[in-house]
Amino acid sequence: MFQVYDLGTNVPYKQTWEEQRQRVKQIDEGLAESQLWLLEHSHTVTMGRGTEAQNVLFSAEQYEQQGIQLVEVDRGGDVTYHGPGQLVGYPLFYLGNREKGNDARQYLRDLEESLILALSKWGIQGTRKEAYTGVWVGEEKIAAIGVKFHRARHQKGYITSHGFALNLRTDLRYFQTIVPCGIQEYGVTSLAKVLDREMDNHEIDRMKKEMESAMREVFSDLYASCSSK
């Protein structure tokens, strides 16, 4: 129902963003199928359309001095951090054929459900917080979600881009350079912190498989491409 691509680690953010836009266009034209990209970015702070200036704590020059790229993007949501040890997922999905409907709110809840399901395989209870998007463990946020809905030109319905960022063995100190997602009342955590131990590459690969499995289960009503209608 969708293809999965592992793009590796240390992937430049801007390059992937441009590739997403090109692939969305191909999906719209029926030249590509719905797909899920999994990857880790190099150090990047991204500002979504809802970013408040006070949540970005440094200037672009100061971020650059720390080896962090600052990028304004077209997804929803506030500011967040991407970097090594964080599993980023970009579902480029055509929603027009979903049995659940072409529904933006349902799509966000399904992304959360996929993350919660994958975490449960590790014995971890992920939860939602009312009025927020994302997944928490206790009072700390472990996964952020920020998406863009493209209205298809050649079909009825949305095509999605951007997606989720799940902290696995992320260096959480980088989140101190921002107010993550503009939320001050909750902290940020990672899978390694919750497990209270280091995670090796084998476990990172395991989580990729868990995320793929969870996405396939939750989005089981997703058709492969626009042209399948």
Catalytic residues: 181
* CA triple 24-150-147, angle to 5 deg: 95
DSSP letter for each residue of 142-202: EEEEEEEEEEPSSSSSEEEEEEEEEESS--GGGGGGB-GGG--SSEE--HHHHHTS---HH
C-alpha span between 161 and 105 (Å, rounded): 15
Dihedral over Cα of 12, 14, 20, 25: its sign: negative
Q: What is the 3-state secondary structure (H, E, C) of 60-105?
A: HHHHHHCCCEEEECCCCCCEEEECCCEEEEEEECECCCCCCCCCHH
C-alpha span between 130 and 152 (Å, rounded): 30
Helix (H, G, I), strand (E, B) or coil at 43: coil
Could you tell me which of 108, 58, 61 has the C-alpha nearest to residue 81? 58
Indicate the DSSP class of residue 133: -
- Taking each continuous run of H as one helix and of E as one strand, the counts in the chain are 5, 10
